[in-house]
Amino acid sequence: MNEKLKTFMDEKIPEIERELTNQLAKSDIPDILHESMTYSIQAGGKRIRPLLVLAVLSDLHLDSADALKVAASVELIHTYSLIHDDLPCMDDDDFRRGKPTNHKKFGEDVATLAGDAMQALAFQALADLRETPPAAAIELVGLLAKASGAQGMVKGQVLDMKGEQQVLPLADLEEVHLHKTGALLAYCIDAGAVLAEATADQRFQLARFSRNIGLAFQIQDDILDVTATTEQLGKPANSDMTSEKSTYPSLLGIEGAQTQLKARHEEAINALRSIDLEHSILHLLADYIIERNK
Measured distance CA(148)–CA(138) in Å, rounded: 15
| Cα 45 from Cα 125, distance rounded (Å) | 20
User: x/- string (CB under 8 A) for its own copies, residues 67-106?
Assistant: -------------xx--x--xxxx----------------
Q: Which of 94, 108, 276, 278 binds its own copies (CB under 8 A)?
A: 108
172 is an interface residue for its own copies by CB under 8 A: no
Helix axes 170-180, 248-274, angle to 10 degrees: 60
Instruction: Assess 170 for contact with its own copies (CB under 8 A).
Output: no
Task: Return phi, psi of residue 245, to 5°.
Answer: -75, 145
In the complex, minimum distance from the CB of residue 171 to its own copies, in angstroms, rounded to a whole number:
16
Which residue's CB is nearer to its own copies, number 9 or number 137?
137
Q: Where are the alpha helices (DSSP H) in the chain?
A: 3-24, 31-41, 48-59, 67-86, 102-106, 108-127, 134-148, 153-163, 170-180, 182-195, 200-227, 230-233, 239-242, 248-274, 281-291
Which range touches its own copies (CB under 8 A), out of 54-62, 111-119, 222-230, 246-254? 111-119
Alpha carbon 214 to its chain's center: 9
Between 77 and 223, CB nearer to its own copies: 77
**Does residue 32 belong to the site contacting its own copies (CB under 8 A)?**
yes
Nearest to its own copies of 90, 170 (CB atom): 90
Degrees to nearest 5, angle at CA 41 with 38 and 114: 60
**What are the residues binding its own copies (CB under 8 A)?**
26, 28-30, 32-34, 37, 80-81, 84, 87-90, 107-110, 112-113, 115-117, 119-121, 123-124, 126-129, 133-135, 137-139, 141-142, 144-146, 148-151, 154-155, 157-159, 161-162
